[in-house]
């Protein structure tokens, strides 16, 4: 069996590089499933995207949801208290929604303590630290459970080298943030597995890391180490092996382009898959910054990617058609195919064979 290096959440509750770059054995995930998804009193789906992502992509790993109010979002799992969840075999509570303001409110904090008291590990991708929740560290120590911070990058990340490494890589890139890069990568990975390819999904954001059971939160890394972190995330592999790497940000985003460029350079992708949103006119949250055309986005990403992989090419375009009419969808596909000459797919619905064929073509 060919095993590859994996970055995982270790027993100290920190993301850890298991044994450095050369290690070839995947380590077990400290934040073990099954999970109970904590939703607090969140009422909009977007704020609960971590919970929805886990339920969608790892249904076998989520056993229930814990909601604090009637009008809280319902992701369709059994409502369980921490104590009942523990009895049902749940091992960890995952904070599946982001509180308003980014800070953990006191009544959420008391829930986390209750879950720790019930014997569950607590897993968080929020900015505020679990250790700062009153009483939580003490409860965790008393019960022997772990506080796992997904946002803490692994210690000891190296500076990037630009040295090529074996294995094949495809990176999802976008014309903006929050435009489907994670779902496109997950769908592409699933399609590869369906074809029997040797492939891994490489996560770079909180939700992706929870889904994958490991990864590196690339936007939390110190700036000097972005490319180095990306090199670690998709290490040397079998020449036929594919890493499907979750993209972050956009080269066209005035806040985050540095993250996107470092990830692009360190990933050394053989191919990129461009994610677009036909309905979006401006960069999200940045009025006056236009969304680039697909042609422009492809050109600029390839220009940058070819610094570390001169053979990089674009293999297709991905968009989320879930809220479009069949007519609008067909028009979008036709227009983007005419513009770029590439396959255009709604990755959660469409056949991804045209993309896979181009990856090996």
Where along the sequence are the contacts to a second copy (CB under 8 A)? 159-162, 218-224, 226-228, 251-252, 254-263, 265-266, 283, 286, 288-289, 300, 303-304, 307-308
- Nearer to a second copy by Cβ, of 24 and 103: the residue is 103
CB of 257 to a second copy, least distance (A): 5
Cα–Cα distance measured from residue 273 to residue 359, given in angstroms and rounded to the nearest whole number: 10
CB of 289 to a second copy, least distance (A): 6
- Nearer to a second copy by Cβ, of 188 and 233: the residue is 233
- Nearer to a second copy by Cβ, of 64 and 266: the residue is 266
**Cis amide bond preceding 34, omega within 30:** yes
- Nearer to a second copy by Cβ, of 9 and 251: the residue is 251
- Nearer to a second copy by Cβ, of 124 and 260: the residue is 260
CB of 232 to a second copy, least distance (A): 13
Closest CA to 347 of 189, 212, 126: 189
Question: CB of 71 within 8 A of CB of 43?
Answer: yes
DSSP code of residue 345: E
CB of 247 to a second copy, least distance (A): 13
Cα–Cα distance measured from residue 256 to residue 262, given in angstroms and rounded to the nearest whole number: 10
What's the length of the chain? 361
CB of 304 to a second copy, least distance (A): 8
CA 126 to chain centre: 14
The contacts of residue 54 (CB under 8 Å, 6+ apart) are: 35, 37, 61, 62, 94, 96, 207, 210, 211
CA 73 to chain centre: 21
Residues paired with residue 242 on neighbouring β-strands, in sequence order: 168, 199
């Amino acid at each position: 069996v060919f095993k590859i290096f994996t970055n995982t959440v270790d027993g100290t509750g920190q993301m850890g590089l298991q044994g450095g770059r050369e290690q070839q054995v995947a380590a077990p995930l400290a934040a073990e499933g099954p999970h109970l998804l904590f939703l607090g009193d969140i009422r909009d789906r977007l704020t609960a995207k971590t919970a929805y992502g886990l339920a969608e992509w790892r249904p076998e790993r989520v056993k229930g949801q814990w909601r604090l109010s009637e009008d809280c979002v319902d992701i369709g799992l059994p409502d369980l208290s921490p104590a009942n969840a523990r009895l049902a075999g749940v091992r960890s509570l995952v904070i599946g929604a982001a509180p308003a303001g980014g800070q953990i409110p006191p009544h959420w904090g008391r829930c986390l303590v209750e879950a720790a008291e019930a014997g569950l590990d607590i897993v968080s991708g929020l900015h505020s630290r679990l250790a700062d929740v009153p009483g939580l560290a003490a409860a965790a120590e008393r019960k022997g459970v772990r506080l796992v911070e997904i946002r803490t990058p692994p210690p000891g990340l190296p500076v990037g080298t630009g040295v090529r490494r074996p294995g094949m890589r495809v990176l999802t890139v976008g014309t903006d943030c929050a435009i489907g890069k994670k779902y496109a990568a997950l769908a592409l990975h699933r399609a590869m597995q369906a074809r029997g390819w040797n492939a891994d999904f490489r996560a770079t954001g909180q939700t992706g890391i929870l889904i994958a059971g490991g990864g590196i939160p690339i936007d939390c890394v110190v700036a000097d180490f972005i490319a180095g972190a990306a090199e670690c995330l998709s290490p040397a592999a079998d020449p036929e092996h594919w890493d499907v790497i979750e993209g972050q940000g956009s080269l066209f985003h005035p806040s985050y382009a540095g993250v996107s460029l470092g990830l692009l350079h360190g990933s050394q992708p053989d191919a990129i898959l461009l994610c677009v949103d036909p309905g979006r006119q401006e960069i999200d949250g940045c009025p006056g910054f236009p969304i680039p055309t697909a042609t422009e986005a492809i050109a600029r990403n390839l220009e940058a990617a070819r610094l570390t992989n001169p053979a990089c090419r674009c293999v297709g375009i991905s968009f989320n058609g879930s809220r479009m009419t069949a007519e609008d969808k067909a028009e979008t596909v036709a227009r983007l195919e005419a513009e770029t000459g590439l396959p255009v797919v709604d990755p959660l619905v469409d056949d991804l064979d045209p993309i896979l064929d181009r990856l090996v073509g």
